[in-house]
Chain A
Amino acid sequence: MILSEDEWARVREQAEAEYPAECCGVLLTRADAEPHRLLLPCKNVQNELHAKDPQRHPRDARTAYFIDPKDLLAIGRREGQGYGVDVIYHSHIDAGAYFSATDKQNALMNGEPFYPAATYVVVSVMEGKVADIRAFVWTPAARDFVECPM
Protein backbone atom coordinates (compact mmCIF):
# COMPACT_ATOMS: atom_id res chain seq x y z
CA MET A 1 0.00 0.00 0.00
CA ILE A 2 1.53 3.29 -1.09
CA LEU A 3 -1.31 5.48 0.20
CA SER A 4 -4.20 4.37 2.39
CA GLU A 5 -7.74 5.19 1.29
CA ASP A 6 -7.86 8.08 3.71
CA GLU A 7 -4.46 9.42 2.59
CA TRP A 8 -5.44 9.10 -1.04
CA ALA A 9 -8.71 10.96 -0.35
CA ARG A 10 -6.75 13.77 1.28
CA VAL A 11 -4.27 13.97 -1.60
CA ARG A 12 -7.13 14.01 -4.11
CA GLU A 13 -8.88 16.78 -2.17
CA GLN A 14 -5.68 18.82 -1.99
CA ALA A 15 -4.92 18.32 -5.69
CA GLU A 16 -8.39 19.52 -6.73
CA ALA A 17 -8.46 22.38 -4.21
CA GLU A 18 -5.11 23.75 -5.38
CA TYR A 19 -5.92 23.48 -9.11
CA PRO A 20 -4.70 25.18 -11.30
CA ALA A 21 -1.52 25.08 -9.21
CA GLU A 22 0.43 21.88 -8.75
CA CYS A 23 0.01 20.51 -5.24
CA CYS A 24 2.76 18.73 -3.32
CA GLY A 25 3.47 16.90 -0.11
CA VAL A 26 5.06 13.90 1.51
CA LEU A 27 4.13 10.85 3.49
CA LEU A 28 6.49 10.16 6.38
CA THR A 29 6.53 6.78 8.07
CA ARG A 30 8.04 5.35 11.20
CA ALA A 31 7.41 1.76 12.26
CA ASP A 32 8.23 2.11 15.94
CA ALA A 33 6.17 5.14 16.92
CA GLU A 34 2.70 6.64 16.70
CA PRO A 35 1.57 7.86 14.33
CA HIS A 36 3.17 5.29 12.02
CA ARG A 37 2.17 7.32 8.99
CA LEU A 38 2.14 11.08 8.73
CA LEU A 39 0.78 12.76 5.62
CA LEU A 40 2.20 16.27 5.30
CA PRO A 41 0.54 18.39 2.61
CA CYS A 42 3.07 21.08 1.69
CA LYS A 43 2.87 24.55 0.25
CA ASN A 44 3.98 25.01 -3.34
CA VAL A 45 5.97 28.27 -3.42
CA GLN A 46 6.69 28.15 -7.16
CA ASN A 47 4.48 31.21 -7.86
CA GLU A 48 6.42 33.24 -5.30
CA LEU A 49 9.74 32.12 -6.78
CA HIS A 50 8.54 32.93 -10.29
CA ALA A 51 7.28 36.38 -9.26
CA LYS A 52 10.53 37.15 -7.46
CA ASP A 53 12.92 35.95 -10.16
CA PRO A 54 11.25 34.88 -13.43
CA GLN A 55 14.55 34.36 -15.19
CA ARG A 56 15.81 31.91 -12.61
CA HIS A 57 12.35 30.37 -12.13
CA PRO A 58 10.64 30.64 -15.53
CA ARG A 59 7.77 28.34 -14.58
CA ASP A 60 4.87 29.18 -12.33
CA ALA A 61 2.90 26.77 -10.15
CA ARG A 62 0.78 25.62 -13.06
CA THR A 63 3.71 23.62 -14.43
CA ALA A 64 6.05 23.26 -11.45
CA TYR A 65 6.23 22.78 -7.73
CA PHE A 66 8.79 23.76 -5.16
CA ILE A 67 8.06 22.72 -1.59
CA ASP A 68 8.12 25.64 0.84
CA PRO A 69 11.48 25.65 2.65
CA LYS A 70 9.55 25.90 5.94
CA ASP A 71 7.91 22.57 5.07
CA LEU A 72 11.32 21.14 4.13
CA LEU A 73 12.58 22.08 7.56
CA ALA A 74 9.54 20.44 9.17
CA ILE A 75 10.21 17.30 7.14
CA GLY A 76 13.85 17.41 8.20
CA ARG A 77 12.86 17.73 11.85
CA ARG A 78 10.56 14.71 11.52
CA GLU A 79 13.41 12.80 9.92
CA GLY A 80 15.45 13.73 12.96
CA GLN A 81 12.75 12.08 15.09
CA GLY A 82 13.14 8.84 13.16
CA TYR A 83 10.58 9.27 10.39
CA GLY A 84 11.52 8.42 6.82
CA VAL A 85 10.31 10.00 3.61
CA ASP A 86 8.18 7.22 2.16
CA VAL A 87 6.15 9.03 -0.51
CA ILE A 88 6.71 12.33 -2.32
CA TYR A 89 3.65 13.43 -4.25
CA HIS A 90 2.68 16.25 -6.56
CA SER A 91 0.12 16.96 -9.24
CA HIS A 92 0.31 17.83 -12.93
CA ILE A 93 -2.17 20.38 -14.20
CA ASP A 94 -4.10 19.39 -17.32
CA ALA A 95 -1.33 16.91 -18.06
CA GLY A 96 -0.80 13.22 -17.53
CA ALA A 97 0.40 11.39 -14.43
CA TYR A 98 3.89 10.72 -15.77
CA PHE A 99 7.29 11.21 -14.17
CA SER A 100 8.60 14.08 -16.23
CA ALA A 101 12.16 14.94 -17.17
CA THR A 102 11.87 17.87 -14.74
CA ASP A 103 10.70 15.54 -11.98
CA LYS A 104 13.65 13.25 -12.64
CA GLN A 105 16.18 16.05 -12.83
CA ASN A 106 15.03 17.44 -9.49
CA ALA A 107 14.96 14.06 -7.81
CA LEU A 108 18.63 13.37 -8.56
CA MET A 109 21.83 14.71 -7.14
CA ASN A 110 24.95 13.90 -9.13
CA GLY A 111 22.99 11.14 -10.84
CA GLU A 112 21.84 9.53 -7.59
CA PRO A 113 18.35 9.90 -6.13
CA PHE A 114 17.93 12.13 -3.10
CA TYR A 115 15.49 9.61 -1.66
CA PRO A 116 16.23 6.21 -3.24
CA ALA A 117 13.66 4.40 -1.11
CA ALA A 118 10.81 6.87 -1.66
CA THR A 119 7.90 6.35 -4.01
CA TYR A 120 7.07 9.34 -6.18
CA VAL A 121 3.33 9.73 -6.74
CA VAL A 122 2.08 11.91 -9.58
CA VAL A 123 -1.57 12.97 -9.78
CA SER A 124 -3.07 14.16 -13.04
CA VAL A 125 -5.70 16.89 -12.55
CA MET A 126 -7.73 17.64 -15.66
CA GLU A 127 -10.03 20.68 -15.62
CA GLY A 128 -10.05 20.64 -11.83
CA LYS A 129 -10.76 16.95 -11.34
CA VAL A 130 -8.33 14.15 -10.60
CA ALA A 131 -8.07 12.01 -13.71
CA ASP A 132 -5.22 9.63 -12.96
CA ILE A 133 -2.62 8.74 -10.38
CA ARG A 134 0.60 6.83 -10.90
CA ALA A 135 3.58 5.85 -8.79
CA PHE A 136 7.26 5.64 -9.66
CA VAL A 137 10.27 4.23 -7.84
CA TRP A 138 13.99 4.49 -8.45
CA THR A 139 15.21 1.33 -10.15
CA PRO A 140 19.01 1.05 -9.95
CA ALA A 141 19.28 -1.41 -12.83
CA ALA A 142 17.46 0.99 -15.15
CA ARG A 143 19.09 4.06 -13.59
CA ASP A 144 15.64 5.59 -13.84
CA PHE A 145 12.31 6.03 -12.09
CA VAL A 146 10.02 3.24 -13.21
CA GLU A 147 6.26 3.03 -12.78
CA CYS A 148 5.08 0.66 -10.07
CA PRO A 149 1.61 -0.53 -9.05
CA MET A 150 -0.36 1.85 -6.82
Chain B
Amino acid sequence: MSQPNHEPKEDAMSVQVYIPTPFRRATNNQDRVSLEASDVEALLDELEESFAALKGLVRNDRGEVHDHVNIYVNNEGIESLQGLATPLKDGDEVSIIPALAGGSSTPA
Protein backbone atom coordinates (compact mmCIF):
# COMPACT_ATOMS: atom_id res chain seq x y z
CA MET B 1 0.00 0.00 0.00
CA SER B 2 1.31 3.37 -0.99
CA GLN B 3 1.64 6.27 1.43
CA PRO B 4 2.59 9.15 -0.84
CA ASN B 5 4.79 11.67 0.81
CA HIS B 6 2.68 14.77 0.38
CA GLU B 7 2.08 17.30 3.13
CA PRO B 8 -1.49 16.77 4.30
CA LYS B 9 -3.81 19.62 3.41
CA GLU B 10 -5.74 21.21 6.24
CA ASP B 11 -9.12 20.04 4.98
CA ALA B 12 -7.87 16.80 3.46
CA MET B 13 -9.35 13.49 4.53
CA SER B 14 -7.62 10.14 4.58
CA VAL B 15 -9.15 8.01 1.86
CA GLN B 16 -8.52 4.53 0.51
CA VAL B 17 -8.50 4.20 -3.25
CA TYR B 18 -9.18 0.86 -4.89
CA ILE B 19 -7.27 0.40 -8.14
CA PRO B 20 -8.68 -2.32 -10.44
CA THR B 21 -6.56 -4.61 -12.58
CA PRO B 22 -6.66 -2.50 -15.77
CA PHE B 23 -5.11 0.50 -14.03
CA ARG B 24 -2.52 -1.32 -11.93
CA ARG B 25 0.05 -1.13 -14.70
CA ALA B 26 0.08 2.57 -13.88
CA THR B 27 0.34 2.14 -10.10
CA ASN B 28 3.30 -0.23 -9.85
CA ASN B 29 0.77 -3.05 -9.47
CA GLN B 30 -0.68 -1.63 -6.28
CA ASP B 31 -4.34 -2.42 -5.80
CA ARG B 32 -4.94 -0.04 -2.91
CA VAL B 33 -3.56 3.40 -2.31
CA SER B 34 -4.02 5.64 0.72
CA LEU B 35 -4.31 9.35 -0.03
CA GLU B 36 -5.45 12.55 1.58
CA ALA B 37 -7.90 14.68 -0.34
CA SER B 38 -10.93 16.85 0.36
CA ASP B 39 -12.93 15.86 -2.71
CA VAL B 40 -12.81 13.50 -5.68
CA GLU B 41 -11.13 15.98 -8.00
CA ALA B 42 -8.37 16.64 -5.45
CA LEU B 43 -8.01 12.90 -4.98
CA LEU B 44 -7.52 12.36 -8.72
CA ASP B 45 -4.97 15.20 -8.75
CA GLU B 46 -3.09 13.54 -5.88
CA LEU B 47 -3.33 10.15 -7.52
CA GLU B 48 -1.96 11.42 -10.84
CA GLU B 49 0.80 13.25 -8.99
CA SER B 50 1.78 10.01 -7.27
CA PHE B 51 1.41 7.86 -10.39
CA ALA B 52 2.07 9.90 -13.51
CA ALA B 53 1.17 6.96 -15.76
CA LEU B 54 -2.45 7.32 -14.65
CA LYS B 55 -2.70 10.64 -16.47
CA GLY B 56 -5.02 10.24 -19.42
CA LEU B 57 -6.37 6.89 -18.24
CA VAL B 58 -9.02 8.20 -15.86
CA ARG B 59 -9.56 11.76 -17.12
CA ASN B 60 -9.20 13.46 -20.45
CA ASP B 61 -7.03 16.52 -21.00
CA ARG B 62 -9.94 18.74 -19.99
CA GLY B 63 -10.02 17.06 -16.60
CA GLU B 64 -13.30 15.22 -17.30
CA VAL B 65 -13.66 11.60 -16.30
CA HIS B 66 -13.74 9.37 -19.39
CA ASP B 67 -17.13 7.95 -20.34
CA HIS B 68 -15.79 4.43 -19.87
CA VAL B 69 -14.58 5.06 -16.32
CA ASN B 70 -16.82 4.88 -13.25
CA ILE B 71 -15.83 6.39 -9.92
CA TYR B 72 -17.54 5.39 -6.70
CA VAL B 73 -17.36 6.82 -3.22
CA ASN B 74 -18.10 3.85 -1.03
CA ASN B 75 -21.05 2.29 -2.92
CA GLU B 76 -22.30 5.35 -4.76
CA GLY B 77 -21.33 6.48 -8.24
CA ILE B 78 -20.14 10.09 -8.22
CA GLU B 79 -22.60 10.96 -11.01
CA SER B 80 -25.39 10.53 -8.47
CA LEU B 81 -23.43 12.52 -5.88
CA GLN B 82 -21.69 15.79 -6.73
CA GLY B 83 -19.45 14.53 -9.52
CA LEU B 84 -15.82 15.53 -9.17
CA ALA B 85 -16.83 17.97 -6.41
CA THR B 86 -18.08 15.10 -4.22
CA PRO B 87 -16.59 15.76 -0.77
CA LEU B 88 -14.64 13.03 0.97
CA LYS B 89 -14.50 12.17 4.63
CA ASP B 90 -12.06 10.15 6.68
CA GLY B 91 -12.29 6.45 5.97
CA ASP B 92 -14.11 6.76 2.64
CA GLU B 93 -13.25 4.21 -0.01
CA VAL B 94 -13.02 5.40 -3.60
CA SER B 95 -13.11 2.86 -6.44
CA ILE B 96 -12.13 3.65 -10.01
CA ILE B 97 -13.54 1.01 -12.33
CA PRO B 98 -13.58 0.89 -16.14
CA ALA B 99 -16.80 0.07 -17.94
CA LEU B 100 -17.40 -3.30 -19.54
CA ALA B 101 -19.37 -2.76 -22.73
CA GLY B 102 -19.67 -3.81 -26.34
CA GLY B 103 -22.17 -5.03 -28.86
CA SER B 104 -22.80 -6.48 -32.28
CA SER B 105 -21.96 -4.75 -35.52
CA THR B 106 -25.64 -4.40 -36.37
CA PRO B 107 -26.47 -0.70 -36.58
CA ALA B 108 -29.02 0.63 -34.10
Point out residues on A near B: beta carbons under 8 Å: 22, 24, 26, 42, 46, 56, 58-60, 62-67, 69, 72-73, 75-77, 79-80, 84-85, 88, 90, 92-95, 98, 100-103, 106-107, 109-110, 112, 114-115
Point out residues on B near A: beta carbons under 8 Å: 18, 20-22, 25, 31-32, 56-57, 67-68, 70, 72, 75, 77, 95, 97-108
A79-B21, A109-B57, A114-B22 known; A63-B99 Cβ under 8 A = no
Chain A contact residues: helix, strand, loop or mixed: mixed
Which B residues are in CB contact (< 8 Å) with A42?
100
Having A77-B95, A84-B21, one finds 19 other A-B pairs with CB under 8 Å, namely: A26-B100, A58-B108, A62-B106, A64-B103, A66-B100, A69-B97, A72-B70, A72-B100, A73-B95, A76-B95, A90-B103, A93-B104, A94-B106, A95-B105, A101-B105, A102-B103, A109-B68, A114-B100, A115-B22
A100 touching B97, Cβ below 8 Å:
no
A84, B31: Cα distance in complex, Å: 12
**Most chain B beta-carbon neighbours within 10 Å: one of A69, A84, A93, A98:** A69
Chain B contact residues: helix, strand, loop or mixed: loop
In angstroms, how far is the closest chain A Cβ from the Cβ of B84?
16
In angstroms, how far is the closest chain B Cβ from the Cβ of A59?
4
